[in-house]
């Protein structure tokens, strides 16, 4: 089984003390930072954009896992690729997905396709060779603190099986409702990258929580 990677979502952090939180996460041994970009159109919420990501990039050595929850993401890929290490967008967002995945790689980032809970795993099977990672949403995108949807587990397992069938080594990330109870379920289904928000940022000892996930 692949080593479990932890990608904390900073969406639930206190942005006035974000640099302190990032330092704590670095000390805790997380693998990357998950940055949720929301436009109020593709999802019913607005978060932050490239100026914030640029600032974070200047103050951490952690890879930036940028998750675009935006309409027609092709319009902004070049800008976000300047600071992202791994750049993902939604299959459902209305772009030429194959060309966009290729472009992300051409711009020097690792590529990721993301699917919402209602999207079948099979819909992205043809895109897998163009992906470095697939992100399975286990909640409806747009807000933190939602409950994990167990139907995501079958989807993760199906993507894992298809990657093996195609002979591909692709990270499978899961985002939404990850905690001490749901993390083992996601890992057993085939995920190896876990996005955690409230579970980490509400903890008195984030390092202990990261170790708990990585030990699964």
Distances in Å between the Cα of 123 and the Cα atoms of 99, 113, 126, 133, 190 are 16, 11, 8, 15, 18
Residue of 39, 65, 132, 175 marked active site: 175
| 31 touches 192 (CB < 8 A) | no
Annotated active-site residue 36? The verdict is yes
C-beta pairs of 124-129 under 8 Å, 24+ apart in sequence: 124/91, 124/159, 125/162, 126/98, 127/91, 127/97, 127/98, 127/101, 128/159, 128/162, 128/163, 128/166, 128/168, 128/170, 129/166, 129/168
Residue of 36, 39, 65, 171 marked active site: 36
Compute and round to an integer the Cα radius of gyration of the chain: 16
Annotated active-site residue 31? The verdict is no
Active site residues: 36, 175
């Amino acid at each position: 089984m692949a080593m479990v990677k932890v990608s904390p979502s900073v969406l639930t952090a206190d942005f006035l003390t974000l640099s302190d939180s990032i330092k704590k996460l670095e000390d805790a041994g997380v693998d990357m930072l998950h940055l949720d970009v929301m436009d109020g159109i593709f999802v019913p919420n607005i978060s932050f954009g490239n100026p914030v990501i640029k600032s974070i990039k200047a103050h951490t050595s952690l890879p930036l896992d940028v998750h675009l929850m935006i309409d027609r993401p092709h319009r902004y890929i070049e800008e976000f690729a300047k600071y992202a290490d791994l750049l993902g967008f939604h299959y459902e967002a209305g772009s030429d997905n194959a060309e966009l995945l290729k472009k992300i790689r051409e711009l020097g980032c690792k590529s990721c396709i993301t699917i919402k809970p209602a999207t079948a795993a099979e819909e992205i099977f043809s895109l897998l060779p163009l992906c470095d990672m697939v992100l399975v949403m286990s909640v409806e995108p747009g807000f933190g603190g939602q409950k994990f949807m167990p139907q995501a587990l079958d989807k993760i397992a199906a993507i894992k099986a298809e990657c093996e069938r195609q002979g591909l080594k692709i990270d499978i990330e899961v985002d939404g409702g990850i905690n001490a109870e749901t993390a083992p379920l996601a890992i057993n289904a085939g995920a190896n990258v876990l996005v955690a928000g409230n579970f980490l940022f509400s903890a008195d000892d984030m390092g202990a929580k990261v170790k708990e996930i990585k030990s699964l």
